[in-house]
Each structure stands twice: as C-alpha cells, then as structure tokens.
Amino acid sequence: MGSSSLMRTHGWSGATPADDDEAIARILDAARRRIDRSGKDFGISDVAKDVGVTRQTVYRYFPSTEALLFATSVAEVGPFLDTLAAHVRKIHDPAEAVVEGIAHTLERLPHERYLGLLLTPGKASAFSAGVTSDMAMTFGRSIVERFDVDWASAGVVDDDLDQLVEFMLRIFQSLVIDPGRPPHQGKELRAFLRRWVAPAISISAPPHARAQTKTKAAKRAAQATKTKSRGRPKVAM
C-alpha cells in the first residue's frame, strides 16, 4: 500500500499529512510531548491516540515503542551534540578528543533528558540492541564526527573509524553501568581515561600519521601564540 493510500485510509485528526516526512514528524512530536510529560512510560497506542491514527499506522513507521523512543531522542539530542562540538572545538589530538568527548558526555548525562534516554539502560537506550547495533553505531558516529580531528591524517578511516566508535561506546557503557567506587569524575575521570583509553587511540594510528598529528598540533599552537602576540598593545618605552 502506498503512503498516499495509507494516509487516506486513516484519520490524522482530520488533517492528512502531505507526505511520509510530515507523518513521521507528527508522530515524533507527539512522542516528544509524551516524554516531556511522563518520561518513557507510554506506548504506541498512546502516541497513536494523540496523533489521531490507529496503532497499525504508527507501527508502519516505527516497529516498536523502543524504536519510537530512540528516534524521538535522536531527533531532540541535536542541541547537546552542538554543545559537544563547541566544547571540543579546539582539541585536535585524536586521543585527547576521545577522552574529553567521553568525559563531557558522562558529565552532561544527568542534565540532558533525551541524552539520558539514549545512553542509560531502558527502552530508548541506544545500547538496548547491543553496542554494535545500527542504533548505537549511528549515534556514536554522530559524536565522533563532531570532533575537530583530522581522522584521515591520524590514520583512522572507514572500518577503523567504526571500530573506534565501537570501542568508545563499550568504554562509555561500562562507565554508565558502573561509574566506579567512588565514581570517576572531574579531573580524576580524565586522568583515568588518559591513562587507560588514550594509549589505545594513540597506537591505533601508524607512526607517520602520529608524527603528522603532532606536527599539526605544534603548528596550531605556534600560530595561536603569534595571533595573541599581535593582539597585545605595544608598551611605550
């Protein structure tokens, strides 16, 4: 059955969407309102009622409540990803970017509703189908791609980048499930990640790529120093 036929045979509260994109947007909007009111304690039937369609219509777009929760959370987590990009913007070293990306995301988890739905155990979790599920890997790539790192120069491309995402997600998942006793946080969390996680990222790149990364970092630091020097007022003698 085509999408136009599907839309024509169901209610949509008397306002049929123009296409599948609008239909999905309405369903996600209804799910978001449910999440804002009651967290993740609702089902497909509740969303269908809010939109004005049958459960079967919602199921054609989202095969389960978990899939709907995940899609809604991904759609709403964009602002966090933007702040993450800004936070790591000046970090160009691959290992340090991974360390800070994991640490910052862990620290923001209690304060970000949709991020929490994605990354803590539950129906909307990106990990509900496993760390290497399409859902988890897609979200992980969206984080890594916001790092201001030249991954190609670092020797991390294609399958290697997917493996890096998997590695990050496995580390992240373990710290969410068991934060440590006492929990790793702040400077201690970063020191822990630098000691045990950063070396794995650093040795993943071939020697020439690591050298190129260090050279580029040194050039950026030198350029930043020159820029600051130019901006200082001259002192009269």
**Pairwise CA distance, residues 237 & 223, whole Å:** 27
**Dihedral sign, Cα of residue 43, residue 48, residue 51, residue 57:** positive
Band (pLDDT 50/70/90 cuts) for residue 57 is very high
Q: Are residues 20 and 92 in the same domain?
A: no
Q: Is residue 236 part of a domain?
A: no
H helices of 44-196, where?
44-51, 55-61, 65-76, 78-87, 94-108, 113-119, 134-144, 159-177, 186-196
pLDDT number for residue 139: 84
Q: Are residues 26 and 114 in the same domain?
A: no
pLDDT number for residue 122: 66
**Dihedral sign, Cα of residue 49, residue 53, residue 56, residue 62:** negative
Instruction: Give Cα separations from 60 to 6, 68, 73, 225 (angstroms).
Output: 10, 11, 19, 57
What is the per-residue pLDDT across 131-144, written as a single tens digit (0 to 9) for each?
Answer: 777 778 888 898 89
pLDDT number for residue 116: 84
The total number of structural domains in the chain stands at 2
Q: Are residues 115 and 184 in the same domain?
A: yes
Is the pLDDT confidence value at 218 over 80? no
Global pTM reads: 0.72
pLDDT number for residue 34: 92
pLDDT number for residue 158: 84
DSSP line for 1-67: --HHHHHHTS-GGG---SSHHHHHHHHHHHHHHHHHHHTT---HHHHHHHHTS-HHHHHHH-SSHHH
Q: Are residues 58 and 86 in the same domain?
A: no
How large is the average pLDDT for residues 106-113?
90
What range defines the domain where residue 36 resides? 3-64
Percent of the chain with pLDDT over 90: 45
How large is the average pLDDT for residues 112-120?
83
Q: Is residue 214 part of a domain?
A: no
What is the per-residue pLDDT across 202-211, written as a single tens digit (0 to 9) for each?
Answer: 765 555 444 4
What is the per-residue pLDDT across 143-196, written as a single tens digit (0 to 9) for each?
Answer: 898 899 999 988 888 889 999 999 999 999 899 889 999 999 999 999 999 999
